[in-house]
Every structure is written in C-alpha cells, then in structure tokens.
C-alpha cells in the first residue's frame, strides 16, 4: 500500500493540472467560456448542464443576455498594440459592450482601469448589469501612453441566449443533501476560482466509489445569479440540504479560513471549526456576514440554509486578489491537496457523526467483562482508547453528538467514532431519538 502522503501529493497534482486547463478560458456569468469550462469539468464527472434562457425571471432578478467575446485591442497611431485581449483575457472589461472607434487619449482614459498601487498588475473589472466598454492594463503601461489618437476595438456581443450552469449529484442512502458549490464566472484567475472548480470536480470524482449516507450535490454556477437560479428552480431540493459549503480561493498557502453560516451553530460550522483547528492548522473562524460569495444567497432569510464559506486566504485580503498576479504560479499542488484533505475530513464528520445515548448511565459500566479492555492487549494507544470510551459514555446523554464529544474531550474525532462503535456493538449505546 502506498503511503498516505504519496496519495495526498497525487491528488494535489491532479487538481493543479485541472486548474491549469481551466485557467486560460475566458469566463463570465454567461457565454461560451462557461460552456467550455463545463465541458472540461465534464471529463471528470458526469456533469448535467442546465441552460436558462435570457429574460427568465429569477426571484427579484432576470437572466441577462449572453455575452461572448472574440478579441479586443488598443492600437497607437503607429499601429502598435498597446493592449491585446489575446495576451490576457483580463485586458477587456468583463461583459464589455462592443466598440470600434478612434479617439484621443484624453477621451480613452475614462475607459481604462489600472491599479496605481500595484503598477505592474492588470486588474479584474466587470460591468455585468450596466452598458459600458473598457480595458484593463498595468498602470506602468498606462503611464507610458503618449498623447495622440488611438484605435480601440472590442469584438464582443450581447444577445439573447442562455445562462449555463453544471450540476453533479452523488447519490447516498437517504434523501438528505450536502451542497458543495464553486463559482464559475471568473476568467483567468487561478485561485479565484479555478482552484475551487478543479478541487470540487476531483472530489466529486473520488466520491463516486464511496457509499455515503447523504446525497452530495456539486454545483458549478456563476456567482450570485447562478445561485439564485438554482434556488428559484429547486425549492424542494433546497429543503433537503442539511449541510453546505461554498469553496473558493483554495490553492494558495494562506489561512485556512472559514465563515460560518447565518445560523452560526450548524453542524457544518462545528465540523469546519473542528477541522481547521486540528493538526496545528490554526484556522480562522469568522462569523457570518451578508457580504461575500454565494453563501449569502443560500443564507438569505427566506432560505436560511446551513451553508458556510471555506477558503485559504480570504477574498479581498491578499494582494493577488482580482489581479493578473492570481495566476498559476500563485497556487500550488500542496495547498490544493491540503484544502482537499480538510474538506474530506469535514465530509467524514458529516457521514460518521451521530448522537449516542448511554444505556447504562448510572455509574460506569464494566468494560473489562465485555472484553473492551482486554481486546486492546499491549497496544500503546490502549490508554487513549480507554479515555475515548469514558468520554463517550459520560457525554452520551442524548444531547451531545460524537463531534461534540470530540471537541469537549480534545480527542481525535476518529478515535471517538471508533470507541462509540465498539460500545454500540456491546449494547452499551444506542442512537438517540
């Protein structure tokens, strides 16, 4: 059997390779870039692709027109390209209206976006719900532009079409669901969110051979409008979600960070807090706020679903965020593997957690005559296992789950699960009603 460390390295390499395939694709909230991305993800899992027509009412929103782009540039008077969409797809404002004009630099400046504090980086900017055109470029290159006439061309199109999202469901033994979602609308930004898309696709592929209690619903949809569409069209499915996790920015070496659901004390909140503080990870746990990624849609008061946000570096806190520096050099296989491992640990908790009831609650039951001590022999972990028995028996009052017991005892969740199973097999525990 190969060491677990080797398997962890392998999964990180696979996730990184998939993220690298996704990175060059120009994505937005609609269009061919989204469909191309789903085609790549669909090579990993049996992805169902949903198409929602332009103009479809979605709660308080309406599905926008489809946006596609073929190219764009700024040329100076000599015909030299100052900016070229072919060099980097961040160079054109996302959802930009088409344009083909010649104008002086004084007029063009109003349509150029830069980062004066990060003069060597291209910013990521969008105009989803307003009619604008524009370019993004490094501030240094902008400063080098001389007065004169410039030809500007953006070969884009907004037209009635569809908004597209992808979904994969791993079937479990019950009718209860776990939602795992990543936004698919960002263009060439490796951490935000090629990393999340690739990680969830690889995780979904790994789940195919696993027998689970829950159904696992993997959603790859454009931010905000995609989540709203899914909620509007899946009221019955939404009611079956017991746990949920938004995944983004999981490829860098920061954090880890977790933002609680609106409920604040949901099982997924407790599970992620436990996971982020194991193995000296020293994770940061933040309370819910109505600003961020799609957790704010799932946690809106009309749904109030138990959905949190998992990231390495939190959005908006790292200098590469929404810039051309969020490239494939910024993410690494070892960080992707670590993120994958943490999510898998949380899934293990969701699958294995239950609330025990001590059937002999008055005093400690005699474990020796049931073979629970003697079965341990000279195992050096015998002392820890004995403590796990005692912790489970003492807190098995029908009010504490196995995760609660692991947190209270400071012991590994896996040790508590093993102890509870042995006690249950010896008729000392039952599952609380």
CB-based contact 191:249 (threshold 8 Å) = yes
Cα 268-350-207 angle, rounded to 5 deg: 115
Both tokens assigned to 59: 């709660």
H or E, element range at 19: helix 4-22
CB-based contact 163:64 (threshold 8 Å) = yes
Both tokens assigned to 76: 């100076």
3-state class (DSSP) for residue 262? coil
Separation of alpha carbons 383 and 149, rounded Å: 80
Helices 333-352 and 267-276: angle between axes, nearest 10 degrees: 130
Closest CA to 40 of 198, 247, 208, 227: 198
Separation of alpha carbons 259 and 289, rounded Å: 8
Nearest 10 degrees: Cα torsion 17, 21, 23, 25: -170
Both tokens assigned to 133: 């055109």
Q: Does 186 show up as a binding residue in the annotation? A: yes
Both tokens assigned to 361: 């609650």
Query: DSSP code of 55?
Result: T
CB-based contact 45:80 (threshold 8 Å) = no
Query: DSSP code of 191?
Result: I
Q: Does 243 show up as a binding residue in the annotation? A: no
Closest CA to 298 of 231, 223, 217: 231
What are 66's strand-pairing partners? 159
Q: Does 192 show up as a binding residue in the annotation? A: yes
CA 429 to chain centroid, in Å, comes to 37
Query: What residue numbers does the annotated binding site for Zn(2+) cover?
Result: 186, 192, 322
Annotated binding site: 186, 192, 322
């Amino acid at each position: 059997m190969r060491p677990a460390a080797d398997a962890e390295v392998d999964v990180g390499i696979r996730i990184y390779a998939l993220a690298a395939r996704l990175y060059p694709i120009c994505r937005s909230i609609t269009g061919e870039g989204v469909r191309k991305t789903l085609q790549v993800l669909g090579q990993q899992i049996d992805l169902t692709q949903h198409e929602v027509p332009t103009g479809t009412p979605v709660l308080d929103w309406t599905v926008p027109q489809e946006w596609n782009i073929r190219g764009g540039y700024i040329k100076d008077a000599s015909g030299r390209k100052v900016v070229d969409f072919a060099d980097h797809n961040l160079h054109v404002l996302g959802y930009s209206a088409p344009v083909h004009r010649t104008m002086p630099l004084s007029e063009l400046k109003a349509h150029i976006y830069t980062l004066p504090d990060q003069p060597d980086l291209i910013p990521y900017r969008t105009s989803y719900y307003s009619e604008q055109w524009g370019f993004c470029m490094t501030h240094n290159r902008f400063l080098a532009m001389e007065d004169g006439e410039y030809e500007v061309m953006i070969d884009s199109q907004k037209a009635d079409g569809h908004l597209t999202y992808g979904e994969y469901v791993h079937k479990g033994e019950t009718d209860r669901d776990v939602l795992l979602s990543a936004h698919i609308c960002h263009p060439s930004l490796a951490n935000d969110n090629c990393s999340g898309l690739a990680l969830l696709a690889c995780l979904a592929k790994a789940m195919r051979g696993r027998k689970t209690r829950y159904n696992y619903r993997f959603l790859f949809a454009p931010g905000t409008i995609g989540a709203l569409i899914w909620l509007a069209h899946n009221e019955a499915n939404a009611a079956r979600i017991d746990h949920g996790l938004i995944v983004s920015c999981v490829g860098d070496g920061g954090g880890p960070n977790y933002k609680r659901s609106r409920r604040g004390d949901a099982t997924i909140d407790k599970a992620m807090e436990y996971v982020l503080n194991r193995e000296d990870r020293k994770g940061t746990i933040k309370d819910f706020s109505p600003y961020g990624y799609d957790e704010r849609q799932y946690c809106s008061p009309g749904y109030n679903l138990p959905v949190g946000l998992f990231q390495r570096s939190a959005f908006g806190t790292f200098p590469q965020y929404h810039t051309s520096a969020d490239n494939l050099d910024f993410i690494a296989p070892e960080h992707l593997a670590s993120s994958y491992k943490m999510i898998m640990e949380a899934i293990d908790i969701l699958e294995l957690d239950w609330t025990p009831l001590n059937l002999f609650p008055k005093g400690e039951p005699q474990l020796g005559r049931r073979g629970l001590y003697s079965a341990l022999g000279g195992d050096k972990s015998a002392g820890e296992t004995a403590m796990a028995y005692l912790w489970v028996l003492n807190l098995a009052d029908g009010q504490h789950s196995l995760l609660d017991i692991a947190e209270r005892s400071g012991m590994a969740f896996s040790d508590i699960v093993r102890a509870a199973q042995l006690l249950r097999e010896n008729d000392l525990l039952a599952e609380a009603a």
